[in-house]
Structure 1
Amino acid sequence: MPIRLGLGLPQMRQYDIGRDIPAVAAAAEETGYDSLWVFERVIFPEPATQGLYGIPGLPWPDQYRNVAEPTVSLSLAAAVTGRARLGTSVLIAPLHIPFQLARTLATLDAASGGRVVAGLGTGWALDEYAAAGVAPFERRGAVLDETLDVFRAVWGPDPVAYEGELTTIAPSVVGPKPARPIPVLLPANSTKAARRVVDRADGWLPVAMGARKLAGEWRRLQDLAAERGRERPLQVSVRANARYRAKPLDGDDRKPFHGSVDQIVEDLAAHVAPGLDDFHIDLQTTTRDAEELMDVAAAVYEGARAAGI
């Protein structure tokens, strides 16, 4: 059975978001893509308090200078599509007030006919936490846990009532409700995060950093799920950060999903494994405009299907 394949929407500054997000979303669904995805970057500090991913001296990439807000971007896509799932990979949950984020996602899911997939993370940028003003960076895990609790309450039956560190909801009617239970996916990049995935989430949201590494992480997460008595299967959607080039890249040190369409398809085939059959590819960084993004996305999709993926 073919894998499910998704596409990252054009949120960066080389795109006209009002025109290009709907155009790419509609074209991707028509091509056959199963899902459409967005990510979140809030500000581009100059100078930054810390390096990229918190690594000292590592510069932030220039494409982070202007990234469209993710839920607005998905709303633009929802309006012109009818089938594709609408995913976040990722929303940085502690940058948002939990109650408002729960209502935003519920409204989008109701409006789209039950297509939202909520991929959440805690982020790494101190400057973004300072700008958001919701909670300090040191409280990020606790805020994510409260957000998951608030989601469960707000998306559940009325009357909704909740009391936490950031959120107090008096018994209330809160609507609209999601069209169906919204799947929540989380990364598992630490022992504590892996336990949170197994104990509290619907599934896992990894990044494709090499087929062997991905398969090993998947085995460890499955073992942890068995150890902790999880009965529901874990949903998985793998994010592939692609860097497209018209000509193939040479050399044994080529990074996964960097290169030509054929090389991207080759890497996709290498990463597929039992349980790892849902991927979303972000091609927007190295395409010049929406027209090129749509052309490359169609070529990747057709190449994958021709290869039996």
Structure 2
Amino acid sequence: MRFGLYGLHRDRNVESDVLVRRARSAEEAGFESLWVGDHIALPPGEGNPPRLEALIALSYLAAVTSRVRLGVGLIVLPQRQPVLLAKQLTSLDVLSGGRLTVAVGAGYVEPELQAMGVSLAERGARTDEHLAAMRALWDAAPSFTGRFVSFSGVVQHPSPIQRPHPPIVVGGHSAAAYRRAVRHGNGWYGWGLDVDQTGQALRALAETARAEQRPESLGELEITITPPGPPDLDTVRRYADLGVDRLIIELEGIDDTAVDSVIVSVGETLVERV
């Protein structure tokens, strides 16, 4: 079992000194990875804290850490231009020394998608096509033709350090997300799931895998879960018994004055013991 930390891109963490202190504290505490989310523009109201743009936040984290892996998840893939995004992710992988993991999803906030020029109905098709276009660029293919994006006579250099590309994790709890994970993902990410909900999702994934052709080159599907709040040691073991490979602890809901102590506490009670 590995442990990640989610949320150093929002709330008080938008202050550079706070972000640096907490990132280095998590790395020292033994967290395997730091994760940031991707929302560019959200409807006004409560539950919309200040947040940094995901790739810029990861670039900053790459510069102030040395060992911890860096995860973007879930990046809302249909609202990103895939040729540019492939270059940005490659640059992050190179500058971090091959520490990047990319988790993708189709998105669900309709006003945000519309603001980025994407309809809700197209988001699934765009997600699949954008992922294929990025893989073509990472494979140095000089052309790609699709419904939403096409290019020819171009390549990108340098290549990602991790070959053929950084690990791709697919998020989402829908049948389409399960199929996408089985067909194309190195891993699957479930958000806010307790142990029982995780068991149900993994059974659905297993059922999907029996019906879909998974490329042998992808290997076994790695399972990442964000639980609803920091788990205790017994709960961690229950997740592990289900086959979960990584738990990502979310900072939202933890009083800001307690975040630093929670990072240290999780390191002492879970990371070191597990």
The TM-score, its normalising length taken from structure 2, stands at 0.90
Q: Alignment partner of 2:247: what SS?
A: strand
2:137–2:155: 8 Å Cα contact kept in structure 1?
no
Task: Give the root-mean-square deviation of aligned CA atoms.
Answer: 2.0
Of residues 234, 241, 258, the one that matches 1:273 is 241
Alignment partners' CA distance in 2, 1:63 and 1:94: 23
Greater helix content: 2
* Counterpart AA for 1:293: V
Match of 1:52 in 2: none
Aligned residue number for residue 14 of structure 1: 12
Partner in structure 1 of residue 74 of structure 2: 90
Please tell me whether residue 148 in structure 1 is matched to residue 104 in structure 2: no
Farther off after superposition, 181-190 or 91-100 = 181-190
Q: Which whole-Å CA distance do the structure 2 matches of 1:82 and 1:303 have between them?
A: 23
Greater alpha carbon shift after TM alignment, 135-144 vs 275-284: 275-284
Amino acid at match of 2:238: A
Matching of residue 236 in structure 1 with residue 218 in structure 2: no
Deviation at 1:67, TM superposition (A): 1.5
Counterparts of 1:118-267 in structure 2 under 5 Å? 118-133=102-117, 135-157=118-140, 159-180=141-162, 181-230=165-214, 231=216, 232-242=219-229, 257=230, 264-267=232-235
Alignment of 1:284-303 (within 5 A): 284-289=252-257, 292-303=258-269
Question: Which of residues 217, 229, 251 is equivalent to 1:283?
Answer: 251
| Residue 201 (structure 1) shift | 1.6
**CA separation of 1:86 and 1:238: change in aligned 2, threshold 3 A:** same
The alignment-based identity, stated in percent, is: 28
Distance of 1:284 and 1:189 partners within structure 2: 21
Q: What SS does the aligned partner of 1:206 have?
A: strand
Shift of 1:143: 0.7
2:109 and 2:242 mapped to 1: Cα distance?
A: 34
Alpha-carbon displacement from aligned partner over 1:150-176 (angstroms, at most 9, x marks no partner): 11111113x521122222222223122
Aligned residue type for 1:287: D
The 1:235/1:229 distance shift into structure 2, 3 A limit, reads same
1:196, distance to aligned residue in structure 2 (A): 1.4
Which letter does structure 2 place at the counterpart of 1:239?
A: T
Aligned to 1:237, what secondary structure does the other structure show? strand
Partner-residue secondary structure (3-state), 1:100: helix
- 2-side partners of 1:20 and 1:223: how far apart? 43
Contact persistence 2:169–2:186 (CA under 8 A): yes
Letter matched to residue 136 of structure 1 = S
SS at match of 1:74: helix
Deviation at 1:130, TM superposition (A): 1.9
Structure 1 distance, partners of 2:41, 2:228, is 20
- Asked if structure 2 preserves the Cα contact closer than 8 Å seen for 1:9 and 1:21, the reply is no
Q: What's the secondary structure of 2:248's corresponding residue?
A: strand
The equivalences for 1:24-43 within 5 A come to 24-43=22-41
Preserved contact between residue 117 and residue 182 of structure 1 (Cα < 8 Å):
yes
Task: Please tell me whether the aligned partners of residues 12 and 285 of structure 1 are also in contact (alpha carbons under 8 angstroms).
Answer: no
Shift of 1:109: 0.5
Counterpart contact for 1:11–1:17, Cα < 8 Å: no
User: 1:74 and 2:58 equivalent?
Assistant: yes
Q: Number of paired residues? A: 269
Q: d(CA) in 2 for partners of 1:176 and 1:9?
A: 29
The alpha carbon displacement at 1:188 in A equals: 4.2
Q: Which runs of 5+ in 2 are unaligned?
A: none
SS at match of 2:101: strand
